[in-house]
Structure 1
Amino acid sequence: MLMGVTPMPNRLAGATSPYLLQHAENPVDWWEWGPEAFAEAKRRNVPILLSVGYAACHWCHVMAHESFEDDATAAYLNEHYVSIKVDREERPDVDAVYMTATTAMTGQGGWPMTVVMDHEGAPFFAGTYLPDQPRHGSPSFTQVLRALSDAWVNKGDDVRSTAGNVAEHLRREAQLPAYAITGERIDGAVATLASEYDAMAGGFGGAPKFPPTMVLEFLRRYDGDAAQQARHMLARTVAAMAGSGMYDQLGGGFARYAVDRAWVVPHFEKMLYDNAQLLGLYARLGTALGDRIAAETADFLLRELRTAEGGFASALDADSPAEPGGHPEEGAFYAWTPDQLAAVLGPTDGAWAAELFGVTEEGTFEHGTSTLQLRHYPQDDADRARLADVRACLANAREQRPRPARDDKVVAAWNGLAISGLVDAGRRLHRADYVQAAVEAAELLVDLHLDDGRIRRVSRDGVAGPHAGVLEDYGCVASGFLALAQATADPRWLRHATALIDTALDGFAAPDGGFFDTHADAEALVVRPRDPGDNASPSGFSSLVHALVEAHALTGVGRYRDAAEAALATAAVLAEKAPRFAGWSLAAATTMLDGPLEVAVVGPPGERRDALEARALRLPGAVVVSADAPSEEIPLVAGRTTVDGLPAAYVCRGFVCERPVTEPDGIG
């Protein structure tokens, strides 16, 4: 591009997505996903290039800089393709379909995702990042484009055959066998997880290593024959993550994943969905470590991701300039050298901090810099006070660095996760401000995202986007509302939750008892997406199953439990063969087999009621409502009164209720 020439905006200039807006001045003639782009490709008889990514994706930025900002590459694309840019966070349905195709065709997936397809949306090529020059045995992006364009023109029969085969594969993948998840199968899932457990570093598998939040919650709830082993895997992994370079030791919150087995170097983007889930998990541990990490992560959410409207932004970027005006570099905001520590803290505290945080002269990251790790939290009170001072000084100094960009769109599902996480932390840490922040985020969703029983996927700057919600939006938001119903005993949250659940049961149900990821009246894609597997966040399937289980506990409505049982049967194969991708479904199945466990705590606010509530919240998987008085609008607390004028807890297990108790020791 010529120096001094201001690029002309393309069609993406009118998008609401921050990711699409990042490409609004590319010389590529981008289209947003929609029928107009497909009609244009058909009119010109050219293939469609689909590029999928998200705003905080480091390699998406690299490919954009190398290829989409290059005039020659753009000119070739504009002549021989219709190019569509999709934000995977706005259109998870489109992303899911083509990620399944990419994984099937290449054996791996990831972003940026690059797909070439016919006019019906059937792909005949799929890949991820493609370099601007041939490297490491990979052809360049331009070489791929030229070869595919030649095939389209000169080998049309081969292209149609490949596209047809891939489309048929996608349709077969949507068919799921069904059988019950029994206690024996749950034991088998734990055994499989144990075989994949990294005894050296915690977590599962090798590098890269992702926070296995949903699996850890399953292990926390599991109480079978291998319970001791499950607790060990849980405790080791949460401790390893908390002390790792993946955790922001100065500002709280977790990066997306670690690129190495030992959790030293993260991929530095910080996503709302990761932190919302980890916040809740650590709060539910009931340990000093868990309480500390939960509070720090909640504070990070409120400080850095909260929007002016009361919702929560999607992510912080991985990249930022090392110096004002410099070129963005991954991790520049977070990494340190020993000299930088000494410059802020002085030589004595600088050397102490370098040893404590694992900052070396050689560096553990890039360019001689190190991530901050805290493998051993000080036990001595004086050292803890010293650490607090050091962290505060370094955090203040870090604020002078250029900050990573923020993707400030509000995604309904991820805000539902944040609401649940904040409620978990607020109730267990006695932080009313966390619960109030959850209420305000929920009110934003009601006011802006809910529309006549349906939900919008995203909003930005107080304006709802055009995209319809997918199953994960219904499941995660319903669960968030149910968490608020339990914490506040405000029946409006139960009403909103059950309305969303009813809409999901009516519009997303599959004939075999499972669920599709899109509503029955949603835009038709090459195949209707359906994936029960958890990834970085709960699948729409598992999130709705959790909402169904909790809604049944609160209301006693039988069809909610029936729907959860039928749905879980369709996830049994996944849970048995690949439990790392079925943690949330397994957690729900464990809760259903064990009960479910329902607790109503009723009485005036104060220490006695707080003690009953705190004890009830220690029971894994329990649904716990705390209310001032009985409420007919929340059936679990209907008719439940104080006992002899004292707050009382009513405990029900497996549809059998025990006598009310007024002492915490009576809850077990």
Structure 2
Amino acid sequence: MNRLHNATSPYLQQHADNPVDWWEWGPEAFAAARERDVPVLLSVGYAACHWCHVMAHESFEDDATARVVNENFVAIKVDREERPDVDAVYMEAVQAATGQGGWPMTVFLTPDRDPFYFGTYFPPEPRHGMPSFRQVLGGVADAWRGRREEVTEVAGRIVAELTQRGGVYAGLAGAETPGPDALRHAVAALAREYDGSRGGFGGAPKFPPSMVLEFLLRHHATTGSDPALEMAVHACEAMARGGIYDQLGGGFARYSVDAAWVVPHFEKMLYDNALLLRVYTHLWRATGSTLARRVAVETGEFLLRELRTAEGGFASALDADSADPADPEGHSHEGAFYVWTPEQLVDVLGAEDGARAVELFGVTAEGTFEEGASVLQLPGEEPEPELRARLFEARELRPRPARDDKVVAAWNGLAVAALAEAGALLERPEFLDAAVVAAALLLDVHRDASGRLLRTSRDGRAGTNVGVLEDYGDVAEGLVTLHNVTGDRRWLDAAGELLEVVLNQFTDESSGALFDTAADAEQLIRRPQDPTDNAAPSGWSAAAGAMLSYATLTESERHREAAEQALTVVTPLASRAPRFIGWGLAVAEALLDGPRRVALAGAPDAPETLALRAAALGATAPGLVITPDEEKPLADGRPAAYVCRRFTCDAPVTDPQWLREGLNARPGE
């Protein structure tokens, strides 16, 4: 057992029994490299990563390979979900050097942390033009011993280039906030890139465009744009009917390996499902789609059933691989838990129902996946709930995928926001209850003595890694949303405390640009900074959205100005790269709409007040916030809602239907 046996990360613990003498990231590891005068092997991955498992089995569990590593390197293993800052700066180097990236990420560093050789997965034997991992190890070790000056020169040049590139986004900030033209141009650019036949954007692999879908729904709400709504509806239906969506248990896989959403990469991530739960809830709110409602409910049920931890947080992911009962040696295979053959369907359902399931779920004799197995899809009519329930119960008997039960602050913030809204809108009180418990966990466990966020916890015990910008932005977003739904001031006050840290520790005072790490965080080879979305909203956009909502609720000009400054980066990117700034565009829609603030006068628990709150939550005005207001008077002795933009409020409304209709109206109507 190596040094990883005490790690809080399940991914690191997966490597605790390796013969490789792993270290965790930290000054001790680099001090050991300097003392031994050897380079560092940095390996970055995450627990649900299929190819990380493959490289571990092939190389890190191999005694001969481990000897080469231990004799020539100090080996450091990093969970990218615990240290997104480390992952970001070295992934940027990998992509710049090789033109591509991915995990496992393999980087060789000097003892001063400067990178000089890069890659991702390396096979145990030379394959498809790739050298074997041992060949790479030998080549790097020889270069370090025999060509040290060349290695250090290369490392220095790479660090200088990364430092130069580091200011590109700060240079885009500080112009003007995005206006209606910028958002229209973004929709037009998205329409040009949209896959009109299969839904979504781009080819294979195809990822759920969660933040872009939220923007499109908001843009339709403010402008009535039919193209925006059509793209959102079509993409959501294509995903919901495809193999990327679990047709039996709910929830979405991380991405589709093909362009038609047929075969997923089977790992299920918390952030995807939190974001998509919110999107499908909002789609139902906007259109009344029964499919959207069903998918939202099932995804919420999936979160509570399969990702909720004993402490009430939400685990990071389910693995893509699981033990395959059909494998004579009991090996794990990707997708084994989820795929079916026609014979398996007949075995569970009988001949008649089995044949019907084969047709309904698009299962073929040849298989849509591997070895004659198919991923369940829903190309046509929906099966009866009883038939799905029988298949779900049979699947529950299969060996389950492993769960990464590490609780990540940012992704739990996304889950809090989604479950709070879905609970209220879909009348699922258990969703809202779960959001409240998860929010309490974040405040009670994920803050240190000074009130600063910690990135992760496990089994109710906080890790040591400090929160990054996305943690502050997403947790604040979740807390503000929870305040909108419940009216509880505790959540709003806690969001304000977190946003104060954003203003003091993450913000460049001269430009309003945001950094991904705090000013007093560990200094890496450069301070990471990126406003573009990846699989989840960027910390930059998440913080801007939370600050805008908080400013609207509290009438804080300081927070509004900070949000507006942060959103200036959206303007130049709106037409250039709208697919990668979706959450920023969504926040910009809220800014243009006001956003609107609904101040509720009346006893918080009075039926009339609750009816007004429910009506406001059911409105589509983007960025709308809701709060009790004891200073506002009742209307003829009855609870009332005041709709405000900035410092101007409309006349009070007492009828919930009038309130919702008024909030659904576009500015100027």
TM-score by length of 1: 0.94
Higher mean alpha-carbon deviation, 292-301 vs 139-148, is at: 139-148
Partner of 1:301: 303
Residue from 14, 35, 38 that aligns with 1:46: 38
CA contact (8 A) 1:120 1:526 kept: no
1:107 Cα deviation after fit:
1.2
CA contact (8 A) 1:190 1:226 kept: no
- Please tell me whether residue 159 in structure 1 is matched to residue 151 in structure 2: yes
- Partners of 1:14 and 1:442 lie apart in 2 by 27
1:169 Cα deviation after fit:
2.0
Partner of 1:610: 611
Partner of 1:381: none
- Partners of 2:271 and 2:597 lie apart in 1 by 27
- Please tell me whether residue 211 in structure 1 is matched to residue 208 in structure 2: yes
- Partners of 2:324 and 2:277 lie apart in 1 by 29
- Please tell me whether residue 171 in structure 1 is matched to residue 160 in structure 2: no
- Partners of 2:427 and 2:599 lie apart in 1 by 18
Partner of 1:316: 318
Partner of 2:534: 535
1:553 Cα deviation after fit:
1.0
Deviations 1:268-295 (A, max 9, x none): 0011111011111111112322221111
CA contact (8 A) 1:512 1:570 kept: no
- Please tell me whether residue 79 in structure 1 is matched to residue 52 in structure 2: no
Deviations 1:524-572 (A, max 9, x none): 1111111111101111111111110110111000011100111112344
Residues 164/540 of structure 1: CA separation in 2 closer, same or farther (3 Å cut): same
Partner of 1:360: 364
1:225 Cα deviation after fit:
7.0
Deviations 1:592-611 (A, max 9, x none): 12211222344454378436
SS in 1 for 2:575: helix
Deviations 1:10-48 (A, max 9, x none): 111111100000000111111100011111111111111
Residue from 257, 260, 284 that aligns with 2:258: 260
Partner of 1:461: 459
Partner of 1:633: none
- Counterpart amino acid of residue 295 in structure 1: V
CA contact (8 A) 2:600 2:609 kept: no
1:226 Cα deviation after fit:
8.4
Residue from 325, 329, 333 that aligns with 1:329: 333
1:376 Cα deviation after fit:
2.9
Partner of 2:625: 624
- Counterpart amino acid of residue 108 in structure 1: Q
Pairs within 5 Å for 1:371-450:
371-378=375-382, 387-450=384-447
Higher mean alpha-carbon deviation, 36-45 vs 322-331, is at: 322-331
1:615 Cα deviation after fit:
5.0
- Partners of 1:582 and 1:129 lie apart in 2 by 29
CA contact (8 A) 1:599 1:622 kept: no
Deviations 1:234-276 (A, max 9, x none): 1100111111101011111001100000000000001111101
The structure showing larger relative contact order (alpha-carbon pairs under 8 Å, at least 6 residues apart) is: 2
- Partners of 1:507 and 1:662 lie apart in 2 by 43
Partner of 2:348: 344
CA contact (8 A) 1:301 1:312 kept: yes
Partner of 1:112: 104
Residue from 83, 108, 118 that aligns with 1:91: 83
Higher mean alpha-carbon deviation, 165-174 vs 366-375, is at: 165-174
Residues 297/15 of structure 1: CA separation in 2 closer, same or farther (3 Å cut): same
Residues 103/447 of structure 1: CA separation in 2 closer, same or farther (3 Å cut): same
Partner of 2:47: 55
CA contact (8 A) 1:534 1:583 kept: yes
- Please tell me whether residue 190 in structure 1 is matched to residue 194 in structure 2: no
CA contact (8 A) 1:649 1:660 kept: yes
Residues 22/263 of structure 1: CA separation in 2 closer, same or farther (3 Å cut): same
SS in 2 for 1:577: coil
Partner of 1:569: 568
CA contact (8 A) 1:30 1:82 kept: yes
1:624 Cα deviation after fit:
3.3
Deviations 1:54-104 (A, max 9, x none): 000000000000110111111111111111000001111101111111111
Higher mean alpha-carbon deviation, 600-609 vs 128-137, is at: 600-609
SS in 2 for 1:232: helix
- Partners of 2:601 and 2:378 lie apart in 1 by 42
Unaligned runs of 5+ in 1: 1-8, 379-385, 628-636
Partner of 1:639: 631
Higher mean alpha-carbon deviation, 618-627 vs 93-102, is at: 618-627
Partner of 1:506: 504
- Partners of 2:589 and 2:454 lie apart in 1 by 31
- Partners of 1:607 and 1:566 lie apart in 2 by 39
Percent pairwise identity: 57
Residues 608/524 of structure 1: CA separation in 2 closer, same or farther (3 Å cut): closer
- Counterpart amino acid of residue 312 in structure 1: F
Deviations 1:441-494 (A, max 9, x none): 111111111122201111111111111111111111111111111111111111
CA contact (8 A) 2:601 2:630 kept: no
Partner of 2:133: 141
Residues 392/450 of structure 1: CA separation in 2 closer, same or farther (3 Å cut): same
Higher mean alpha-carbon deviation, 89-98 vs 641-650, is at: 641-650
- Counterpart amino acid of residue 619 in structure 1: T
Residues 432/186 of structure 1: CA separation in 2 closer, same or farther (3 Å cut): same
SS in 1 for 2:118: strand
- Partners of 2:195 and 2:334 lie apart in 1 by 27
- Counterpart amino acid of residue 478 in structure 2: G
CA contact (8 A) 1:616 1:622 kept: no
Partner of 1:289: 291
Partner of 1:382: none
- Counterpart amino acid of residue 253 in structure 2: A
- Partners of 1:608 and 1:550 lie apart in 2 by 21
- Partners of 1:608 and 1:410 lie apart in 2 by 35
CA contact (8 A) 2:570 2:585 kept: no
1:170 Cα deviation after fit:
1.6
CA contact (8 A) 1:602 1:609 kept: no
- Partners of 2:601 and 2:130 lie apart in 1 by 64
Q: CA RMSD in A?
A: 1.7
CA contact (8 A) 2:58 2:123 kept: yes
Partner of 2:249: 251
CA contact (8 A) 1:513 1:570 kept: no
Partner of 2:651: 659
Q: Report the count of equivalent residues.
A: 644
- Partners of 2:388 and 2:447 lie apart in 1 by 41
CA contact (8 A) 2:411 2:474 kept: yes
- Partners of 2:313 and 2:381 lie apart in 1 by 33
- Counterpart amino acid of residue 372 in structure 1: L
- Counterpart amino acid of residue 310 in structure 2: A
SS in 2 for 1:660: coil
